[in-house]
Amino acid sequence: MRHRILPLLLLLAPAGALAQAPSKVLVATAKEVLTDVVTPGTIVCVGGAPTNNPQGPPCSPGTKQVLISYRNTLAQYQEVTGSAAALIRGQVNVVVHCNLDGNYYGHCWGHFVWTVPEAGGQWEGTWGGPHDMLTNTVSYSAVGFGSGGKLEGLQLKWEAAYTGPGPGFGVAAIQPVAQAQ
């Protein structure tokens, strides 16, 4: 009888040890909704001219390259779930720069300040990724560092995608800066 109990204890001990260790990485998912364009920024249409049409392409047909600088937008996060939900529920102020070809495809990048009232702080960081302006097909990665309240000393890694008109979808991973790699 004694020999049968020992293997059982050896099997249960590692599982018990793993169950007691809390995760050092918190995660959350959210719907990202553009709520406002604070400033449209500067648009340069190489080989074309600006259309000044907020509903359509920003440049005239025949444009070879589209350069966007200092576009400032606001986004809100909805349907936030996961262990890090309280650390990302808020509004983000994003500064956008893009270098797009004549088909409105290219790379966009910038920086952000993401205010999270529930956590008493904010994230500040950079982002970038490919962007198809005509279809609103976007994928980008962001890295931010927390300051104030519950965000102090934490790092945010955010991956987001838009698959057409409407909101995008994002996933956050948050961990202490000392453990981030």
CATH number of the structural domain spanning residue 32: 2.40.350.10
Residue 64 inside a domain? The answer is: yes
How far is 154 from 149, CA to CA, in rounded Å? 11
Task: Tell me, yes or no, whether 80 lies in a domain.
Answer: yes
| φ/ψ of residue 3, rounded to 5 | -70, -25
Assess if residue 90 is contained within a domain: yes
pLDDT digits (tens, 9 = 90+) for 11-70: 333 444 444 455 689 999 999 999 999 999 999 999 999 998 877 789 999 999 999 999
| Domain-embedded: residue 93 | yes
User: Could you tell me if residue 48 is inside a domain?
Assistant: yes
Mean pLDDT score across all residues of the chain = 87
Q: What is the pLDDT of residues 70-85, one digit of tens each?
A: 999 999 999 999 999 9
Dihedral (CA of 113, 171, 26, 126) sign: negative
Within a domain: 136:
yes
Domain that holds residue 171: 23-179
User: For residues 134 and 147, what is the distance between their CA atoms, to the nearest angstrom?
Assistant: 36
- Residue 15 included in any domain: no
- Please count the residues of the chain: 181
Count of domains for the chain: 1
The reply to whether 160 falls in a domain is yes
Identify the residue with better confidence: 54 or 127. Answer: 127
